[in-house]
Structure 1
Amino acid sequence: MKTYMRLCAVVFGLMMTALCVVISIETILRKVFNYSLEGVDELSGYAIAIGAPLCFAIAAIEQSHIRINLLYMRLPRGIQATLNVAAASLLAVLSLYLLFFTFRTVGETRLFGSVAQTPWMTPLIWPQTVWLIGMLVFAVPAVWLAVRVVLFAIRGDTDAILTSFGPDEVEDELAAEVSDLEART
């Protein structure tokens, strides 16, 4: 999964870097030469629509989504495990819903031959197909993690659930930050 996550991060980073370059060129052309490429805002929208599911996949794999641990850490281990199972399962359900919605949207676009209402008049099937792939990239790890946590729950392996799906202890987070700081200096 780490390789999968790194690939998502590299694709997202390259896409955002390319978008920054295009926006910079557009800005310079407009300010210096009074000329516009037209459609850079369209590219920005596509980049965000395609990049967001890649970030969702990274957050799911890294379990870096925001949690409110103040109450969670005070709950009994069984309730913590139940909440972890519920969170992973609901994330998988959300990813499948988004995948279904995206698939349906792409189908309607293909049916009607929709084009963007922009100067480029881009056939929307192209960016939406990449968007669909992005949603699939998000759904795969979300469902995989949900299956994994449910299997732990079926086996009654609370320790595995808490270790694999629970938030890090404050001491663990501090040690990771110190280690990261030492690696950078």
Structure 2
Amino acid sequence: MGALAKLARSGLWFGGVLILLAAILIGIDVFLRKVFVVSIGGGDELAGYALAIGTAWALAATLLDRAHIRIDSLYMLFPSAIRILLDLVGLVLLVGFFGLVFWHGLGVFEQSWTSHSRSQSALETPLIVPQAIWLLGLAMFILVGAVLFLTALARLLRGDRAGVAELVGTRSAAEDVAEEVRAAERRR
């Protein structure tokens, strides 16, 4: 898990930098359009690629941080055994959904590869490049999700319910506050 967590954290930074660069590019393009009535051209295409790739690469770290959005209004009212079951089912469904996205993305990638597809913009980007980087991010998320599920299942079989909740459960308000306090102390 440690190596996967480091890889996921690196993917998070990679995705974040891509999205930041896209925002800067769009800002420059807007400025040039407004002031000089000229455009960079292709900025929206690159920003689209950055958003898709950045999101895919951030999914794994978000999963490990238990930061995906959940609606837990009733969740906290259930006994711990049902919460653990819901957490594991939710993890399987989330990773399964992205497994389907990955599967269909492979089909699109294969089509782009065989037909040598390029974007229809002035950049004429070979589509396999952003598609491959996007698919790698999804693959990392699926791998992290599978390892997380197996680790949680192993803890459950050992009877470590608290350990399962720590891995895949919804973050409590107390955990969020403790994390914010630690972050504030690190900034000082």
Indicate the residue corresponding to 1:65 in structure 2. 68
Q: Partner residue of 1:143?
A: 146
Structure 1 residue runs of 5 or longer lacking an equivalent are none
When structure 1 is superposed on structure 2, of 152-161 and 108-117 the one drifting more is 152-161
Deviation at residue 60 of structure 1 after TM alignment: 1.0
Partners in 2 of 1:156 and 1:82 — Cα distance? 14
Which is further off, 79-88 or 29-38?
A: 29-38
Question: Any gaps of 5 or more consecutive residues in structure 2?
Answer: none
What amino acid is aligned across from residue 125 of structure 1 in structure 2?
I
Between the aligned partners of 1:182 and 1:50, the Cα distance in structure 2 is: 32
Q: Give the corresponding residue for 2:130.
A: 127
Counterpart of 2:59 in structure 1 is 56
The superposition leaves residues 72-128 of structure 1 with CA deviations (integer Å, 9 ceiling, x where unpaired) of 111111111111111122222123212211111100111222221222222212221
SS in structure 1 at match of 2:177: helix
Q: How far has the Cα of 1:154 moved from its partner?
A: 4.3
Going from structure 1 to structure 2, the CA distance change for 1:156 and 1:104 (only over 3 Å counts) comes to farther
User: Which residue of 103, 110, 122 corresponds with 1:107?
Assistant: 110
CA distance in 1, matches of 2:100, 2:57: 16
The 2-side partners of 1:176 and 1:14 are apart by 23
Whether 1:168 and 2:178 are equivalent positions in the alignment is no
Letter in 1 for 2:88: V
1:88 lines up with 2:83 in the alignment: no
Which of 6, 22, 44 in structure 1 is aligned with 2:9? Answer: 6
Residue of structure 2 equivalent to 1:29: 32
Q: CA RMSD in A?
A: 2.1
| Structure-2 change in CA distance of 1:124 and 1:171 (3 Å) | closer
Q: Distance in 2 between matches of 1:171 and 1:126?
A: 43
Q: Is the 8 A contact 1:110 1:125 kept in 2?
A: yes
1:97 is matched with 100
TM-score by length of 1: 0.87
The total of aligned residue pairs comes to 185
How far did residue 155 of structure 1 move? 4.4
- Is residue 102–residue 135 contact of structure 1 (8 Å, CA) maintained in 2? no
CA distance 1:94–1:151, shift in 2 (3 Å)? farther
How many Å separate the matches in 2 of 1:97 and 1:138? Answer: 12
Aligned-partner Cα distance in 2 for 1:160–1:11: 29
